Amino acid sequence: MSLPKTLAEDVARNLVMVARLIDEDPEEAYAYSRIALRLASRVAAVREAAGFAAYATQKYAEALAEFRAARRMTGSVELWPVMADCERGLGRPERAMAMAGEPEVQKLDKAGQVEMRLVAAGARRDMGQIDAAIVTLQSPELASSSVQPWTPRLRYAYADALLEAGREDEAREWFGKALEADKDGATDASDRLAELDGVEFVDALGDDEADTADEDAPRDEDGPAEGSAKA
């Protein structure tokens, strides 16, 4: 659907803000997505952006509705995994599992199929089926030594499931493999490894030194120190 030039520019500006803010300030991204939605609700890209903004703020029912609308407009199966994850967010893991078995999954690209596997494993865990979750994650993509964009998250999910199953040594190994593949810091695998090894991170400035530093700091007797919050 084409929009008048001025309207299209307004919509585009709001979508740019959604993309820019969705990781750092999801609530603000959501606000921009609602503006875009009011301006152009019949544009699939707007419905998809609104879905992701709602998803980022855990408004799963709203996100699912937007993703369904975008899918109706485009006919694409690309959003299938995140739609299934919305079902999990709504407390319906059995629906997510049903979606994992639908023909749409076979139409996904490799990244989409891996994402669907992650969602299905999460749904198994939601239902208390930890061993089934571990089996779900065991795949050629997990075993491959090739590092792909999905590799850190797949290895991390596998390690986390192993740990929940009490298989600590294997979990440590896979957290290590996740960290090895995670060049962009997409996971907290390093923190999980440190936790397993009993490493504790503490402030370099001890409590006593911090108290002393507070006492030595200059104060303005007539009002709050510069930079402090006002009541």
Q: Record the pTM.
A: 0.82
Please compute the mean of the pLDDT values over residues 166-176 and round it to a whole number.
Answer: 97
Task: Encode pLDDT of 3-51 as tens digits.
Answer: 888 999 999 999 999 999 999 999 999 999 999 999 999 999 999 999 9
pLDDT on residue 231: 33
Please compute the mean of the pLDDT values over residues 134-158 and round it to a whole number.
Answer: 96
Long-range contacts of 191-195 (CB under 8 A, 24+ apart): 192/156, 192/159, 192/160, 192/163
pLDDT on residue 197: 87
